[in-house]
A and B are shown apart, each in its own frame.
Chain A
Amino acid sequence: MIPSQFDYVAPSTLDDAVTLLREHGGEAKVISGGQSLIPMLKLRLAAPTVLVDINRIDGLDYIEDRDGALHIGALAREADIEQSAVVRQRYPLLYDTARVIADPIVRNSATICGNVAHGDPGNDHPATMIALDASFVILGPNGTRTVAARDFFVGLFTTVLEPDEILTEVVIPTPPPRSGGAYFKLERKVGDFATAAVAAQLTLDANGNCQRAGIALTNVGPTPIRATSAEGFLQNKPLDPINVAQAALLAADAAEPVADWRGSEDYKRDLIRVLTSRALTLAGRRARGETINRGS
């Protein structure tokens, strides 16, 4: 399959990239890892007249834990997240998520920022970023602005990004002590989008009660869904099996799944219940200091 014709430019600075986007209005598209965009170009689901390739811009591939937050640059790859010791140790929810995106070869190219900016409700990082209370740094013609993950996703493939803006950095606040997270995804096979998935991030107080819960759902609505009633329910409660089960029911209620070849509405809703329960349970164990690595 061959994409429609387009022009290609590879600027060497972010400012030049923004200028190019501004010159071409809505006709230009940013390409970073290209692992979603190139298949869409080939299937002719997208036909921008200009691709602005940011891969030649130096200094954007960082993953830095500093000043109370994890900073992830626009060209950090999913594989870099998987290999980052600090991510494994301090951001297990992010590690869990990166390792189930697409497949290992795609993850060598795919970027975290691209996964977020694409606005696909089937992508995995959006729910994780909401659960982690992350924010996104956006560069446009008038400088930078910062948008909270929970305010970023507007609709199907639609975010608050303007056509002449670039998502340049994800900022994840460092979780306080007694925090833990987990991502649970059911996929039919490696490389498939989630039938459903759940991101959970917990902080416990000294007595083991839930001080903060972040819970968000993947691919059961036009955007990632924050399960606010489930989060609120857990506030100041012990993370025991009964409370976990009740929070999981509330999360399932928040889902807005549609039936497709991956399953019926009822099936997906119940899947959210089960995955929420598992994610909260593992997040709780990690918050209590257990080191639980998943995968090979």
Chain B
Amino acid sequence: MSTHDITVTVNGQTHAAEVESRLLLVHFIRENLRLTGTHIGCDTSHCGACTVIVDGRPVKSCTMFAVQADGRAVRTVEGLEVAGALHPVQAGFKEEHGLQCGYCTPGMMMTATALLESNASPSEGEIRQAISGNLCRCTGYVNIVKAIQHAAATIRATKTETPARGVAAAGQSATTA
């Protein structure tokens, strides 16, 4: 059995672990780190429920090996809320009722977060294009689009008042085996 020592930064915290080559990133996140906000849906890279952000870009964590994340920075849905305050994307989904069953929501929010970090004023078409790799079987996307628009407006409003907040709190560091 081939194993590897990896160090991955997840939501600002550094985690060192010994992993099998074949361990998928989503299993590392859910089982090794017990961060179960990231969901496994189709397990074949279609549905996007497992979407996380790796070095700034959304990826489907069921279609990447944990060993490939060695040295990289991963963000999951647990990293959105900071000090008890909802991220604007989370607040948008709450305000606009952007979910019903909630299964797709973590992946949907990570895709939305990455979109708004590169484009704070997306058109409806750009939003729909960005989330076209995230399937929702409940809401029909209308409220999800509204939720992302709500978040975009919040981010634009706060950007003019305060500096953009960091990706993760600095100085946090923990190690798990």
**CB within 8 Å of B: which residues of A?**
1-8, 10, 34-35, 38-39, 41-43, 51, 53, 55, 79, 102-106, 108-109, 190-191, 295-296
Contact = CB atoms under 8 A, between A and B. Distances in A.
Given A1-B43, A51-B21, A108-B57, A8 B67 contact: yes
Contacts of B2: 5-8
B60 A106 contact: yes
B155 interface: no
Interface of B: 1-2, 4, 20-22, 24, 27, 43-46, 48, 51, 57-60, 63-65, 67-68, 111, 123, 125-126, 128-130, 132-134
Contacts of A104: 58, 129-130, 132-133
Nearest to B111: A105
Contacts of B4: 8
- Interface of B, secondary structure class, is mixed
Nearest to A296: B125
Nearest to A1: B43
A285 B16 CA distance: 56
B132 A38 contact: no
Given A104-B129, A296-B125, A42 B44 contact: yes
Nearest to A103: B133
Contacts of A191: 46, 132-133
A190 B132 contact: yes
A10 B6 CA distance: 13
Most buried by A among B48, B68, B130, B134: B68
A295 B43 CA distance: 28
A104 B58 CA distance: 9
9 contacts: A4-B22, A6-B22, A35-B63, A38-B65, A103-B132, A106-B63, A109-B60, A109-B64, A296-B129
A5 B45 contact: no
B21 A108 contact: no
A5 B59 CA distance: 23
Q: 10 closest pairs, A vs B, by CB?
A: A103-B133, A296-B125, A8-B21, A105-B133, A7-B2, A108-B57, A296-B129, A190-B132, A3-B22, A38-B63
